[in-house]
Amino acid sequence: MIKIHDFKGFPNPMRVRIALAEKGIADQVQFVTVDVPGGEHKQAAFLAKNPNAAVPVLELEDGTYISECTAITEYIDALAGEPVLTGKSARERAVIHMMQRRAEIGLLDAVASYFHHATPGLGPQIETYQNHEWGEKNRERALAGMRYFDGLLESRSYLAGDHFSMADITAFAGMAFAAFAKIDVPATLKHLHAWHGRVASRPSIASA
């Protein structure tokens, strides 16, 4: 049985849990809790699994560890049929990978940088380097990202077009992280709010 080493409720673990739920295979995975609030992800045993000290990590049956959500999602997407989260045609795959990366750069990673640099984050034991100005700059970037996605969603239902994909999962986790970090989403971004409602109503979300 494959394993997911993670911490439930955190943004990146959420991405992989939503992907598993979308594919209907969450019950075929063993979840192993990593005590991120306690700093377990920065200790040697976990660093051997992922030197970047981040959850989630997928452990294959042959003992291979796969980190980075795009890589894990690619693997999960190949395990079962519909919905296809990473695209079918070369064009679909390219658009989805582009939009998923934009959702990281402009939203999820920007919010994470704000949280870890400009707020107490996970506390002084874990946040051993903070650059407050960089954190504040990334709050601006997250808000710019929200405005960009709002404009995009004026003319499409999901980030990569007509279908829910890996890119929407990344952006949804980014919005969840923004709420946790108390970055308010401007009420004027009505297309973004409507998209958020559509995504939040998917059964996979409630379970993740």
Task: Give me the residues that bind its own copies (CB under 8 A), please.
Answer: 51-52, 58, 60, 64, 66-68, 70-72, 74-75, 78-79, 90-91, 93-98, 101-102, 105-106, 129, 131, 133-134, 137, 148
CB of 179 to its own copies, least distance (A): 24
Least separation, in Å, of the C-beta of 106 and its own copies? 7
Q: Which residues of 26-46 are buried (b: 16+ CB within 10 A; e: fewer)?
A: beebebeebebeeebbeeeeb
Residue 131's identity, in one-letter code, is N
Residue 122 C-beta: closest distance to its own copies, Å: 18
Nearer to its own copies by C-beta: 134 or 179? 134
Specify whether the backbone of 6 is left (phi greater than 0), alpha (psi in -120 to 50) or beta. beta
Q: CB 17 → its own copies: shortest distance, Å? A: 17
Complex with its own copies: residue 21 or 57, whichever CB lies closer: 57
Nearer to its own copies, 51 or 81 (CB): 51
Give whichever of 41 and 97 is closer to its own copies, judged by the CB atom.
Answer: 97
d(CA 87, CA 109): 23
Question: In this structure, are residues 96 and 131 in contact, taking their beta carbons and an 8 Å threshold?
Answer: no
